[in-house]
């Protein structure tokens, strides 16, 4: 499966999503088209698997950032990991983001749960209790805003300024948490 996914990614970046076919993928991967269909229903299923693989890698890198001792720019590093997760895929980014969105909230929920499991008991958030609601806000807010920005390119949002605003949002939220009594 990895060979098929790698071939899909190579062809996606080389020729764009319009020219991506299972026949081309099979040839690049050195397998038969039938082998592809043993694992994937169609091209969209392949793109969804690629998007899921990339999201998993980003999730794991963010979990490592959260587990490691906090630095002065920890929130910015996390936001950068999110904003730059598809930066190296200029031709395939749109197709993969679209495939990820087609995966619906179920895909996001799986990554959310895996992230929480990866950091459970391994991080100190400065005495902040990571309730399910707080974890939901911290993980879903930046992802939802980045999805909205990707869906509305006509807004012409500056990536560096958007990153600054996401950092400001998350840092303000984190600063506000300890002052809340529950």
pLDDT tens for each residue of 3-18: 999 999 999 999 988 8
Q: What is the pTM of this model?
A: 0.76
Cα distances (angstroms) measured from residue 152 to each of 18, 53, 71: 21, 24, 33
pLDDT tens for each residue of 34-70: 999 999 999 889 999 998 898 888 889 888 888 887 6
pLDDT at 8: 94
Residue boundaries of the structural domains of the chain: 1-40, 57-176
Note the CATH number of domain 1-40: 1.10.10.60
Of all residues in the chain, the percent with pLDDT exceeding 70 is: 93
């Amino acid at each position: 499966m990895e060979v098929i996914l790698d071939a899909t990614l190579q062809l996606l970046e080389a020729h764009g999503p319009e020219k991506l076919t299972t026949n081309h993928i099979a040839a690049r991967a050195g397998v038969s088209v039938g082998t592809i269909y043993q694992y994937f229903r169609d091209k969209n299923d392949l793109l969804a698997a690629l998007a899921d693989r990339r999201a998993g890698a980003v999730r794991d890198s963010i979990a490592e950032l959260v587990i490691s001792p906090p630095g002065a720019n920890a929130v910015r590093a996390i936001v950068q990991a999110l904003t730059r997760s598809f930066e190296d895929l200029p031709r395939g980014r749109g197709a993969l983001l679209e495939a990820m969105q087609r995966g619906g909230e179920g895909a996001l929920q799986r990554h959310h749960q895996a992230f929480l499991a990866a950091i459970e008991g391994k991080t100190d958030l400065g005495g902040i209790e990571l309730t399910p609601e707080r974890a939901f806000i911290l993980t879903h807010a930046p992802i939802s805003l980045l999805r909205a920005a990707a869906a509305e390119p006509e807004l012409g949002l500056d990536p560096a300024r958007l990153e600054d605003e996401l950092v400001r949002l998350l840092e303000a939220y984190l600063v506000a948490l300890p002052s809340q009594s529950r």
